[in-house]
Amino acid sequence: MTRRIEELEPKEILALAISIEQANQKALRNFSEMFDGYNQEVSRNFGEMAEEEGRHEELLQQMYKKKYKGPAPNIDSFDIEGVVEAVDLDDSEFLIFDSFKAQQVYQASWEAERRAREFYLKAVKNVKDAEMANLFNTLADMEGDHADWLEKKLGHKGKKP
Amino acid sequence: MSENINPNPSILPSPSATPASRPLTGPLAPPPPLEGWRIDLLKTFPWLKWLVKRRWFQFAVVLPNLFLFLVFLAAGVWGTPVGNRNILIVFVWIFWWFLLISAMVPFLSRAWCTMCPFPFFGEWIQRGSLTTPKMAAPGAKGAKVGINRYFGWNLRWPKALSNIWMQNIGFLGLCTFSAFYLTRPIVTVWVLGSLIIIATVLHVVFRQRAFCNYVCPVSGFLSLYSMSSMAEVRSRDAEVCLKCHDKSCLVGSERGWGCPWFNFPSKMERNNYCGMCMECIKSCPHDNMTVRLRPFATDTKLKGYDEAWKAFIMLSLALAYSVIYLGPWGFFKDLANFTESGRGLSAFLGYALCLWALPMVVIPTVFSAFHWVARRLAGAEPKPWKESFLLMAYQLVPLGLLAWIAFSLPLIFINGSYILVTMSDPFGWGWDLFHTAHTAWSPILPQWMPAIQVGILAIGLILTLKSVFKQAGKIYTDNRARLRFALPMALLMTLIVSLFIRLYVS
């Protein structure tokens, strides 16, 4: 049974954000593995993005430890409606035509961060609790920072979502 | 039982609620709405789901096929050299071809690739396993692709050849010599045997199914015509794939190999490069991949000139073969089979030149001329040349498939009795295994054949004309411009069909 993000407890939201960063790390590492030995630059960039997601996760873990005690509740993106942040590729035939460019890794990650920011900002509008709103705003800011970092890497050449 | 599929699953928060409301594009955008109905076959038939999820499924369909294939090759080597008395010629070039083009491709997409024996040995060597996927592990032998482990050199296929031009040239090359292998079993053995050897070598040298994607001449036209097929392997829910962090359909898992065709199955939007091996259905941890039925000619996007030329080649060959093998002009058949007819090498070279010029130059030129006129007539600011060219070249895909079906029908209806003969006496050695070896040549409904062929072509034309006007709407939003663009293209399609009809009726 999926829930809307606004129905979660603040603790659960933070746990969700942590699990999303973990999931993205795994997806990015898998993409990196796929390109390993095929296109090293793409593979390296995916690896770099996976490490970056790892750093995001660390920040969120620290935030969780500061705010709450005990282990984070077990909750992941499949438990909630909608997609908060997911890095994916938009073409099924990029390996067949050997058409994937290293820069597209940053593009895909940038789009994911932007969407995540928008998702949290939307959530802010739908909550009344100040603590929750504050948390969503913090998460939105973090995603915004990540998007800005990627925008710099893209040299502002990112295709607007 | 048609399943309701939500074409726009809730992937994202409503765009209107986002701070900057813009059209959504890119990886997280909802997929384009599905056109027409879909039936999820794995939900409708649980036994089918059970079957395709078995690790031994593909092996079980390839093995009997491989056995038959080897028997046929043996018949080609040791059997009678008389073509219509040898099971290799009759089963491969009459029975298999008819089944493939008239039944498998239109209804089952690339199901032939599921059971094809060509890559069997190569893939076995590459995987080091007949059924069970192997996982990469530190210190383990072999190379990693995704998270699976493979043997062989696993080289990257050259980027310059990452298209279907080799298949186009290879198929045209094979067809140039068709009269040789259609009539001489030993030449068919050379052709098919060479394909097995090339497939095996390429599997050892390159990653995954490089042979199938870029080299196999059969795969080339299956790729193109599978766009029209009524079957597809697709993900059920785009949101599930987005949230999935395993990406097992691409990188593999302990349940299934990563897509051997180098596709990313969760994002698949067309059939062209899906060999229906069912590995993604096995590997998906969310049970989100399935096989669906859909309307005829649903995939409509050609991605490059290589694919457009494949459409030209296939249509031209249907036309040329109709003249050579079905027409009343023995002269053309003599040219194609010059060693038997005594026409001489120069006559054959002239024939070969015409056969190559038709799809590579003549038809593309005529097509381009109509396309140019269409754009001029429409007048309004058009999309780039390539985009409208490919959209219109696609129209030749369903039309070409139906033209091939119309060409292939007489093969089975007129020559079908040879199947019964060679079943009982596969080598032409005088056996009578099923008491059908002495079946007399008895064509079925020969007097109805032209009418049936015209009927099939008429269906093709109606579908194509409908599609031309619809696709023109993707190029011109203005109705008047759209109509002016579509009319010359519709005229071209009508002329092509008229030419076929004239051939078959005359």
Tokens of B427: 């080598």
Q: Which of A37, A83, A96 sits opposite B262 (nearest CB)?
A: A96
Any B CB within 8 A of A46 CB: no
* Nearest C-alpha neighbor of B131 from the set B53, B49, B58: B58
| E strands in B54-131 | none
Interface touch A33/B144, C-beta < 8 Å: yes
Contact flag B27-A26 (C-beta cutoff 8 Å): no
Cα Rg of chain B (Å, integer): 24
First to last CA, chain B: 44
ipTM value: 0.89
The CA distances from residue A76 to A2, A81, A120, B243, B372, in Å, are: 10, 11, 16, 9, 54
Q: Across the interface, do A98 and B266 touch by the CB < 8 Å criterion? A: no
Cβ of B213 and A160 within 8 Å?
no
Q: How far is CA A153 from CA A48, A143, A144, A147, B458, in A?
A: 12, 15, 14, 10, 56
Q: Do the chains contact at A82 and B11, CB–CB below 8 Å? A: yes
Alpha carbon distance B30, B28 (integer Å): 6
Q: Please report, in tens digits, the pLDDT of each residue of chain B (506 residues total).
A: 444 343 333 333 333 333 333 333 444 555 667 778 999 999 999 999 999 999 999 999 999 999 999 999 999 999 999 999 999 999 999 999 999 999 999 999 999 999 999 999 999 999 999 999 999 988 888 888 999 999 999 999 999 999 999 999 999 999 999 999 999 999 999 999 999 999 999 999 999 999 999 999 999 999 999 999 999 999 999 999 999 999 999 999 999 999 999 999 999 999 999 999 999 999 999 999 999 999 999 999 999 999 999 999 999 999 999 999 888 888 888 888 888 777 888 999 999 999 999 999 999 999 999 999 999 999 977 789 999 999 999 999 999 999 999 999 998 999 999 999 999 999 999 999 999 999 999 999 999 999 999 999 999 999 999 999 999 999 999 999 999 999 999 999 999 999 999 999 97
Q: Is the dihedral of CA B211, B214, B215, B217 positive or negative?
A: positive
Helix (H) / strand (E) element for B235: namely strand B231-235
Tell if the CB–CB gap between B10 and A81 is shorter than 8 Å: yes
Which residues of chain B are within 8 Å of residue A83 when distances are taken between CB atoms?
11-12, 28, 239, 242-243
CB B314 within 8 A of CB B225: yes
**DSSP, residue by residue, B400-438:** HHHHHHHHHHHHHHHHTHHHHHHHHSTTSSS--TTS-TT
DSSP B290: E
Beta partners for B465?
A: none
Which residues does chain B have within 8 Å of residue A77's beta carbon, measured at their own beta carbons? 243
The residues that bridge with B291 in the sheet, in sequence order, are: B233
Report which residue type is found at B136.
A
Residue B198 is predicted with a pLDDT of 98
What is the pLDDT, as a whole number, of residue A46? 94
Tell me if chain B has a CB within 8 Å of the CB of A29.
no
Closest CA in chain B for residue A34: B146
Taking the C-alpha atoms of residue A45 and residue B445, their distance in angstroms, rounded to an integer, is 64
Nearest CA in chain A to B246: A27
Within 8 A of B258 by CB-CB distance, chain A residues are: 34
b/e map of B227-241 (b: 16 or more CB within 10 Å)? bbbbbbbbbbebbbb
For the domain spanning A7-84+98-153, the CATH number is 1.20.1260.10
Chain A interface includes B470 (CB < 8 A): no
Beta-ladder partners of B144:
B149
Looking at beta carbons, which residues of chain B come within 8 Å of A87?
Answer: 27
Distance, first Cα to last Cα, chain A: 30
Q: Tell me the chain B residues in contact with residue A82 when contact means C-beta distances shorter than 8 Å.
A: 10-13, 239
